[in-house]
Structure 1
Amino acid sequence: MVIARKTGTVIKHVAASERAAGLIMLGCAILGLVLANMPATSHGFEVLEQWVLGIPGTNIQLPVGHWAQDGLLTVFFLAVGLDLKLELTGGSLANPKAAAVPMLCAVGGMMVPPVLFVSVMTIFAFAPGSQAGMVHLASGADVPLSEAISGWAVPTATDIAFSLAVLALFAKALPISIRAFLMTLATVDDLLAIIVIAVFFSALNSVWWFVGLVVCAVIWAFVIRMPRVPWPIAVLVGVLAWVCMLEFGVHPTLSGVVLGLLTPAQLIHGETKPRAQRYLNGVQPWSALVALPVFAFFATGVRIETFSLQLFGSPIVIALIVALVIGKPLGILITAWISTHVGRLAMPRGVRVRDIIPTAFACGIGFTVSFLIASLAFHNPELSAESRIGVLTASLIAAVLSGILLSVQSKRIQAENE
């Protein structure tokens, strides 16, 4: 019993550490890429990824790789929904005026990357020596420009877990105001990414499934506010909401966001801590140590037939690097400057626009949601594979650049305070 309790404490400590959780997820991503491409393990990885599992009594049959994306990732989005509810109720988003600049920066940071992505792809499609209107991939295949730019939304998202991990690793002396700026920006970024997935990557089916989802949401909102929550019923309602979302044609992981937003974030029934906070504390270890690492493992486990330096010259890889590494910080910084110098909005106390440059580069770390959007946007397996390599490469470059800049900034702040 004592061993189990100590093990649970260690797991919670690791899950709460942004640094540890980020490194675990990155390790699983690299492991998936290696196992999928090593001759000795590639076949076994493919068998595992394609192993079909189903829900008894239903027609829902999905390979393990899809369960990681469509099922397990729901835990992550439930954590996102709970976090959003807390921020909207009493956190950084509760005061729109105070959060106005980072909220607008999140919008700017999502608008510039697609423009750069489409521009770079268009340049490659009409470059001298290329077949007009076609994009030549590293695999040797040619795809129409219209198909290649269907991934415009891939570089729009910021991975809050990795971004905060970079801050934890390289910016120990950073003012809390800059960290809060990133938290607010990334939270709004998550919300906008959810909207993008729901609006642009859904194929709506029978309206009755939507009615079923609404019924599940109403029941959840009632059950989760009861003095003693009947968890068997709550879990059943959550599963049914996931099924309704899947059958309705919207990505089923978003059911986690819906349930999270419907969870009370204010004190009720004489409790000392909001239920949304308690549930987030319970869900976070599963999200950080199970859902995200397993998803990253399968998301990067793409078979690259000709893995060489030529791959990094692929138009889609270059476009994603430009969009995430340059487009993200550019959109954030331009929006911050316009908001404060033209719109006369105020930055957090003691923070100037130039102070958020390192943090803006950290927002170029796409990873989790970018992988998800890539799998939804591209049906061509070669495009999907190269886009995931592009996301991984761009995220690593953004992490390194932001880490260097944050380290320099942190040392400067320490020197000023001594």
Structure 2
Amino acid sequence: MTQVRSELTRYLRTETVGGALLLIAAAVALLWANSPWADSYVRMTDTVVAIWPLHVEWTLADWTKDGLLAIFFFVAGLELKREFVVGELADRRRAALPIVAAVGGVVTPALIASAVGFGVPGMERGWAIPVATDIAFALAVLAMTGSRIPASARVFLLSLAVVDDLLAIILIAVLFTGALSLLWLLAAAACFAGWALAQHKRISTPILYVPLALVSWYALHEAGIHPTLAGVALGLLTRVRPDPGEGQAPATRLEHLIQPISAGLCVPLFALFASGVPLDTNVFGELFTDRLALAVILGLLLGKTIGIFGISWVAIRLGIAKRPMGLGYRDMFALSVLGAIGFTVSLLVAELALGDVGDGSAVELAKAAVLVTSMTASLAGSALLLRRGRVHQARRDARALQREE
């Protein structure tokens, strides 16, 4: 357990730097997209890059969202697997908590958005806009402002956000995918099986693993499923217990190798290409009067907070789940507020759900609502985390003083 804690501490140090880079990149993109040089930002994000053997022609924004972000999800999968096997989530009731919290954080926003926006054009699918938590941004805010609360907070938020994103990806596949390709799904499954078998046989050469990772990613893309799911799957299939005489398990070695690249390069680039949302002053005037905008705002801010915290409280009180080590209910409430950071996945769903509604103003209004709500959740969550951090630090100082006496 000591090794797991030291690994998590190292992870948090890297994530703090990565979180700062992500927030800086997001601020740069937002300012750039609303500056006199906004056209250059649009040209950059819309630049098409094609890889001929794969027959994939994507914009740079798509490559960062579906390509580079898969690396981030791989690292998240590795950490989740470690926590499930040898960390805090090895306790089944503690592992159950983020799963039920994620379900509450998906269902409640959908119900609130459906109720508020009932009858509004586009809401037959627009209810899905506030269901997703942006895992990269939420963890970045936690890394920047929650360094003094117990490390179990990150484990809870990470596992919650991963399950949340998986549910959001399933919704996208069901609501917005025309058809799934069974053959490509089988190809992806074969790659996952090959990865698991290679881990079981203790094969360590990257000559095998790199092609398996690339083919599984491409197969999911061709199957019509968000390809970042490949990163989570491969991370969860990686061995986390070292063999006798083995210095480090494969998951630990891969985290040491890949996590700095993920936190320092992949995620900031993703933020740079995803955060440049034009802010129209006319649109902002409708945010608190238009029912579509209110459905998104209330679905994210209230739905996520109430859904995540409410179902967590109920599950703990009923004995279905166990509270994370060292965390109180006020800590969990602060983390639930961070769950309202929807951002990139919510922006994607807004485009898919409302792209053919009217003259396009509905999409811009929904995007502005997502942006304002995500910024509000970031600021509110940060304030709560800083306050809770001071409380935890005071308790640690008091215990240290007692030991000295």
> Normalising TM by the smaller chain, what interval?
0.7 to 0.9
> Once the two structures are superposed, what CA deviation does each residue of 1:336-391 show, in whole Å capped at 9, x if it has no partner?
33224445754346655345322322222233443454455443464444433332
Give the aligned partner of residue 239 of structure 1: 214
Distance 1:345 1:238 in 2: 34
1:80/1:412 Cα in 2 relative to 1: closer, same or farther (>3 Å)? Answer: closer
Pairwise mapping of residues 172-211 of structure 1 onto structure 2 (< 5 A)?
A: 172-176=147-151, 178=153, 180-211=155-186
Pairwise mapping of residues 102-251 of structure 1 onto structure 2 (< 5 A)?
A: 102-122=98-118, 133-134=119-120, 144=121, 147-176=122-151, 178=153, 180-225=155-200, 227-251=202-226
Contact 2:133 2:341 in 1 (8 A): yes
Match of 1:336 among 302, 306, 312: 312
Counterpart check, 1:29 vs 2:5: no
Deviation at 1:397, TM superposition (A): 0.9
Contact 1:87 1:94 in 2 (8 A): yes
Distance 2:282 2:272 in 1: 18
Q: Which runs of 5+ in 2 are unaligned?
A: 1-9, 399-405
Give the aligned partner of residue 237 of structure 2: 262
Distance 1:242 1:372 in 2: 19
Give the aligned partner of residue 20 of structure 1: 17
Give the aligned partner of residue 66 of structure 1: 62
Give the aligned partner of residue 411 of structure 1: 390
Q: What SS does the corresponding residue of 2:89 show, helix, strand or coil? A: coil
Distance 1:96 1:311 in 2: 46
Q: What SS does the corresponding residue of 1:291 show, helix, strand or coil? A: helix
Counterpart check, 1:56 vs 2:27: no
Q: What SS does the corresponding residue of 1:158 show, helix, strand or coil? A: coil
Deviation at 1:238, TM superposition (A): 1.9
Deviation at 1:160, TM superposition (A): 4.2
Give the aligned partner of residue 401 of structure 1: 380
Give the aligned partner of residue 127 of structure 1: none
Contact 1:15 1:289 in 2 (8 A): no
Give the aligned partner of residue 137 of structure 1: none
Distance 1:188 1:331 in 2: 14
Give the aligned partner of residue 298 of structure 1: 273
Opposite residue 66 of structure 1, the aligned amino acid is: D
Q: What SS does the corresponding residue of 2:323 show, helix, strand or coil? A: coil
1:217/1:378 Cα in 2 relative to 1: closer, same or farther (>3 Å)? Answer: farther
Deviation at 1:149, TM superposition (A): 4.7
Give the aligned partner of residue 129 of structure 1: none
Deviates more, 1:54-63 or 1:343-352: 343-352
Opposite residue 54 of structure 1, the aligned amino acid is: A
Deviation at 1:288, TM superposition (A): 1.8
Give the aligned partner of residue 279 of structure 1: 254
Give the aligned partner of residue 356 of structure 1: 332
1:162/1:219 Cα in 2 relative to 1: closer, same or farther (>3 Å)? Answer: same
Contact 2:80 2:159 in 1 (8 A): no
Pairwise mapping of residues 351-390 of structure 1 onto structure 2 (< 5 A)?
A: 351-380=327-356, 382-390=361-369
Give the aligned partner of residue 8 of structure 1: none
1:262/1:412 Cα in 2 relative to 1: closer, same or farther (>3 Å)? Answer: closer
Opposite residue 23 of structure 1, the aligned amino acid is: A
Distance 2:393 2:219 in 1: 53
Match of 1:99 among 90, 95, 98: 95
What RMSD, in angstroms, separates the aligned Cα atoms of the two structures?
A: 3.2
Deviation at 1:206, TM superposition (A): 3.5
**How many residues align structurally?**
384
The two structures have a TM-score, normalised by structure 1, of 0.79
Give the aligned partner of residue 75 of structure 2: 79
Deviation at 1:231, TM superposition (A): 1.8
Identical-residue share of aligned pairs (%): 36
Counterpart check, 1:47 vs 2:23: no
The two structures have a TM-score, normalised by structure 2, of 0.81
Deviation at 1:402, TM superposition (A): 2.0
Give the aligned partner of residue 86 of structure 2: 90
Give the aligned partner of residue 5 of structure 2: none
1:407/1:47 Cα in 2 relative to 1: closer, same or farther (>3 Å)? Answer: closer
Distance 1:195 1:38 in 2: 36
> Once the two structures are superposed, what CA deviation does each residue of 1:21-50 show, in whole Å capped at 9, x if it has no partner?
2232222223223323323x2222222222
Deviation at 1:392, TM superposition (A): 2.6
> Once the two structures are superposed, what CA deviation does each residue of 1:174-199 show, in whole Å capped at 9, x if it has no partner?
34555554454345434444444454
Distance 2:229 2:11 in 1: 26
Contact 1:340 1:347 in 2 (8 A): yes
Distance 1:224 1:46 in 2: 43
Contact 2:283 2:365 in 1 (8 A): no
Q: Which runs of 5+ in 1 are unaligned?
A: 1-12, 123-132, 135-143
Contact 2:304 2:336 in 1 (8 A): yes
Opposite residue 370 of structure 1, the aligned amino acid is: S
Distance 1:205 1:185 in 2: 27
Distance 1:278 1:215 in 2: 24
